[in-house]
């Protein structure tokens, strides 16, 4: 085999989107072994190998070689023609030499001239659309929230994470913690992809009873390992340092599908007091399955629920199962199954629905007929919603704020993926039915840095306010009461000087709350031709398709006003750099949508049709961290 050796001199490179600090520590030698296999030898290694990324290139296989059977190659889109940004590949410290192999990358690729060593990696924000107050990863890709748990004054938010690029891949559990659900501290990934596969979604509990034998109050994580070789299997890991690091159970997996099912993932574990056992609910293709255990390691199948229920077509994912008081009455509680489906959203793509009913320790029975659909959120960008465990009477959910139809192609590079604001869940009755409200948590009020009250006013025709948002910088909360009166339509536009606008209005004739983002800014999120898509879109982990995408972004979403109570509607609207979240009457309606205005919305235009409407108790808050 022909081999070519040469040294790579470390030089400061111009970084696109992300910058990294140069280090004069260490030495790189590249050894070619054919056209697509390269061995990188690093003597006296710095902390990171900085890898140039080009999102349109194919995935190379990058592996840290320690000689262990546990070594795993990561899929990284190394730059072939041009560099979009860099990602850090962490190297062992206090060793003389490190070997990294890179396969499936041409020897002519531009990455080889630009790979760098560094002891630091700059995560300062370089992206215009990074939210001001929503949780995002510092860099890389994020989707589903995982393992949400509260312990010792900290909320732990784990999440599906790719540290090696801003598109889906290399699933780890990323990790952030907060004391108030709003301000988040980023920590190192807690569970890394391994030889059993990607680390898919799951849950965490605090083992107060030491059921698993890892110590009283150990944190136990349950997740799906996913690969073409092993399929989708349920695994466990434990932590004795408050969730900072986890040790994987040596006898994983703890649960496999009894019928060889391909789509079998996202375990949610909870304590069921009447049986004095732990229960697990797992998504199993187009249903959910219940299991029970005394030791968290051995699981017994109980029942399934969901075939033919809810929106169709659907793929059940990311379940949760919680008990809530109806209308605040602790003597009247119902079980609620939260089901995230893809596809199935009434507006296309992914969404969250729920079922209210009874649970007898073995089977869940829904109160409504299979064809009845109840949505937790009426926007396009609310998915993978799951709840914190160990929070007492409060039930707090966190959604992923995107849609699988365009999640990989949003106009962002440094990171992709954000969480919507946490919501507190509750049950209420309306017209003989029980519904679930999802209201923004009260802790969000800590974001308010400035308040501007607006005197009550009446609109007949149009009214424009152009000075209200002069110092809001694209991150604000708009709170108001709207009384439609005799108007058949009443609403307002959030606008900027370029004419971009998001329209929010009450259509009284149709009985709907509507948000229209067809003119909101960048709306042409589509692509044609061949590209790689991930498991959520194809069922396979890697598959190249020829697809003609229609524009799934430029549309309006709507919710039925019949969920609300009065002739006056209380609206609480949160605007950030790339999102709008609407909560009506304490979350009876929630609507979450991404927007990409090229300048912040700084003007409000109110309007009515067919009559006049009253706007009262209006306040505008500047929001910030």
Residues in the chain: 625
CA 350 to chain centre: 12
Do 520 and 433 fall into the same domain? no
Q: Confidence band (pLDDT; 50, 70, 90) for 543? A: very low
* Mean pLDDT of the region 250-259: 97
Q: Which of 127, 144, 320, 516 is catalytic?
A: 144
pLDDT value of residue 233: 98
pLDDT value of residue 463: 78
pLDDT value of residue 10: 28
For residue 110, count other CB atoms closer than 10 A to its CB.
16
Closest CA relative to residue 536, chosen from 190, 167, 4: 167
Statement: residue 511 has pLDDT above 90: yes
Assigned domain for 134 exists: no
Rounded CA separation 588/439 (Å): 8
Q: Confidence band (pLDDT; 50, 70, 90) for 527? A: low
Q: Tell me the CATH number at 47.
A: 2.60.40
Statement: residue 474 has pLDDT above 60: yes
Q: Tell me the CATH number at 325.
A: 2.115.10.20
Do 108 and 172 fall into the same domain? no
Q: Confidence band (pLDDT; 50, 70, 90) for 104? A: very high
Statement: residue 303 has pLDDT above 90: yes
Range(s) of the domain holding residue 276: 140-404+412-440
pLDDT value of residue 468: 60
Q: Residue ranges of the alpha helices (H) in 397-513? A: none
Do 434 and 466 fall into the same domain? no
Do 512 and 419 fall into the same domain? no
Statement: residue 557 has pLDDT above 50: yes
Assigned domain for 132 exists: no
pLDDT value of residue 24: 38
Do 262 and 388 fall into the same domain? yes
pLDDT value of residue 280: 98
Task: Identify the domain boundary among 394, 422, 440.
Answer: 440
Rounded CA separation 319/66 (Å): 38
Task: Identify the domain boundary among 118, 151, 174.
Answer: 118
β-pairing, 457-459 with 383-387?
A: unpaired
Closest CA relative to residue 408, chosen from 416, 420, 396: 416
pLDDT value of residue 279: 98
* pTM across the whole model: 0.92
pLDDT value of residue 466: 60
**Annotation says 285 is catalytic:** no
Nearest-5° Cα angle at 110, 109 to 114: 130
Assigned domain for 302 exists: yes
Assigned domain for 131 exists: no
Q: Confidence band (pLDDT; 50, 70, 90) for 584? A: very high
* Mean pLDDT of the region 449-478: 83
Q: What residue ranges in 534-602 does DSSP mark as E strands?
A: 543-548, 556-560, 569-576, 579-584, 589-594
Cα dist from 507 to 407, 431, 512, 580, whole Å: 30, 21, 5, 19
Statement: residue 20 has pLDDT above 70: no
pLDDT value of residue 61: 98
Mean pLDDT: which of 454-463, 511-520, 523-532, 534-543 is highest? 511-520
pLDDT value of residue 99: 97
Do 217 and 344 fall into the same domain? yes
Assigned domain for 123 exists: no
Do 390 and 462 fall into the same domain? no
CA 383 to chain centre: 7
pLDDT value of residue 473: 81
Do 518 and 374 fall into the same domain? no
Q: 70-83, pLDDT tens digit by residue?
A: 999 999 999 999 99
Closest CA relative to residue 48, chosen from 124, 105, 123, 115: 115
Q: 176-196, pLDDT tens digit by residue?
A: 999 999 999 999 999 999 999
Do 243 and 305 fall into the same domain? yes
Q: Confidence band (pLDDT; 50, 70, 90) for 607? A: very high
For the chain, what percent of residues have pLDDT higher than 90?
Answer: 87
Contact 527, 409 (CB under 8 A): yes
Contact 403, 162 (CB under 8 A): no
User: Can the peptide bond before residue 485 be classed as cis, meaning omega within 30 degrees of 0?
Assistant: no
Domain count, the chain: 3
Task: Identify the domain boundary among 118, 149, 176.
Answer: 118
Assigned domain for 109 exists: yes
Q: 130-159, pLDDT tens digit by residue?
A: 999 999 999 999 999 999 999 999 999 999
- Say how many Å lie between the first and final Cα of the chain, rounded: 57
Statement: residue 11 has pLDDT above 60: no
Do 93 and 182 fall into the same domain? no
Do 610 and 531 fall into the same domain? yes
Q: Tell me the CATH number at 466.
A: 2.60.120.560
Rounded CA separation 193/197 (Å): 6
Which of these ranges, 70-74, 463-467, 563-567, has the smallest mean pLDDT? 463-467
Rounded CA separation 375/404 (Å): 18
Assigned domain for 321 exists: yes
Do 215 and 356 fall into the same domain? yes
Look up residue 216 and give its DSSP letter: T
Assigned domain for 603 exists: yes
């Amino acid at each position: 085999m022909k081999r070519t050796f040469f040294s790579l001199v470390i030089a400061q490179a111009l970084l696109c989107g992300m910058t990294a600090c140069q280090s004069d520590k260490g030495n790189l030698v590249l050894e070619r072994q054919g056209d697509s296999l390269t061995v990188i030898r690093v003597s006296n290694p710095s902390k990171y190998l900085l890898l140039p990324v080009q999102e349109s290139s194919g995935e190379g296989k990058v592996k840290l070689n320690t000689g262990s059977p546990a070594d795993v190659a990561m899929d990284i889109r190394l730059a072939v023609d041009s560099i979009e940004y860099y990602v850090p590949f962490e190297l062992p410290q206090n060793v003389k030499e490190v070997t990294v192999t890179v396969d499936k990358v041409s020897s002519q690729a531009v990455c080889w001239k630009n790979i760098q060593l560094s002891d630091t990696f700059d995560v300062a924000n370089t992206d215009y659309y990074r939210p001001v107050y929503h949780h995002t990863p510092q860099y890389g890709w994020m989707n589903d929230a995982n393992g949400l748990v509260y312990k010792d004054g900290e909320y732990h938010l784990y999440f599906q994470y790719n540290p090696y690029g801003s598109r889906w891949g290399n699933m780890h559990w990323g990790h952030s913690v907060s004391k108030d659900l709003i301000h988040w501290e980023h920590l190192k990934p807690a569970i890394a992809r391994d030889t059993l596969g990607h680390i898919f979604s799951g849950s965490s509990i605090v083992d107060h009873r030491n059921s698993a034998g890892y110590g009283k109050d150990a944190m136990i994580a349950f997740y799906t390992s996913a690969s073409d070789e092993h399929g989708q299997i349920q695994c466990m890991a434990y932590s004795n340092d408050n969730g900072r690091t986890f040790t994987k159970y040596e006898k994983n997996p703890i649960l496999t599908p009894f019928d060889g099912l391909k789509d079998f993932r996202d375990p949610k574990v909870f304590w069921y007091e009447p049986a004095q056992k732990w229960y697990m609910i797992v998504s199993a293709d187009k249903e959910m399955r219940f299991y029970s255990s005394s030791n968290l390691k051995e699981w017994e199948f109980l029942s399934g629920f969901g075939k033919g229920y809810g929106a169709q077509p659907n793929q059940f994912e990311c379940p949760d199962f919680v008990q809530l008081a109806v209308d605040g009455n602790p003597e009247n509680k119902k079980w609620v199954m939260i089901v995230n489906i893809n596809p199935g959203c009434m507006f296309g793509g992914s969404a969250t629905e729920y079922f209210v009913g009874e649970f007898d320790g073995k089977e869940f029975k829904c109160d409504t007929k299979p064809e009845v659909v109840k949505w937790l959120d009426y926007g396009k960008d609310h998915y993978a919603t799951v709840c914190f465990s160990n929070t007492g009477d409060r039930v707090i959910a966190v959604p992923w704020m995107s849609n699988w139809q365009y999640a990989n192609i949003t106009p962002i590079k440094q990171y992709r993926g954000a969480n919507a604001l946490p919501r507190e869940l509750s049950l209420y009755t309306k017209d003989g039915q029980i519904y679930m409200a999802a209201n923004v948590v009260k802790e969000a009020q800590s974001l308010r840095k400035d308040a501007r009250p607006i005197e009550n006013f009446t609109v007949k025709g149009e009214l424009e306010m152009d000075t209200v948002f002069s110092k809001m910088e694209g991150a604000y909360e708009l709170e108001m009461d709207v009384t439609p009166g005799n108007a058949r339509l009443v609403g307002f536009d959030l606008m900027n000087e370029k004419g971009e606008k998001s329209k929010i209005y009450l259509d009284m004739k149709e009985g709907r709350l509507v948000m229209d983002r067809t003119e909101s800014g960048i709306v042409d999120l589509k692509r044609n031709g061949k590209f790689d898509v991930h498991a959520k879109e194809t069922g396979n982990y890697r598959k190249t398709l020829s697809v003609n995408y229609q524009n799934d972004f430029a549309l309006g979403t709507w919710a039925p006003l019949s969920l609300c109570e009065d002739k006056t509607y209380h609206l609480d609207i949160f605007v950030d750099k790339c999102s709008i979240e609407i909560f009506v009457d304490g979350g009876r309606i929630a609507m979450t949508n991404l927007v990409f205005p090229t300048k912040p919305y700084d003007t409000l235009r109110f309007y009515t049709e067919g009559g006049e409407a009253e706007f009262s108790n209006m306040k505008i808050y500047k929001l910030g961290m």
